[in-house]
Amino acid sequence: ALTSYCRAPEALCRHALLLTSLGRPGEARDLYRSLLRTLRRAPREYARLHHQWIALAEREIAALAA
């Protein structure tokens, strides 16, 4: 999978969206959480650059919890 060698936030979010559409919400949630942990520890500039993926991950985690 792309996420095994590309850890870019966009790739991780898109992979998690695919997992959700394939009926694998647990794996998607784990991937979103991992992404958020990584971005929260990243330098502010990096997190600011990828803010849209942070927002998407937070929205999707909330939707998966409902």
4: pLDDT strictly greater than 70? no
pLDDT for res 1 = 55
29: pLDDT strictly greater than 90? yes
pLDDT for res 44 = 92
The model carries a pTM of 0.85
Handedness of CA 58, 53, 33, 36 (dihedral sign): negative
Region 4-14: what's the mean pLDDT? Answer: 84
pLDDT tens digits, one per residue of 32-49: 999 999 988 999 999 899
Q: What is the dihedral of CA 8, 63, 41, 26, to 10 degrees?
A: -70
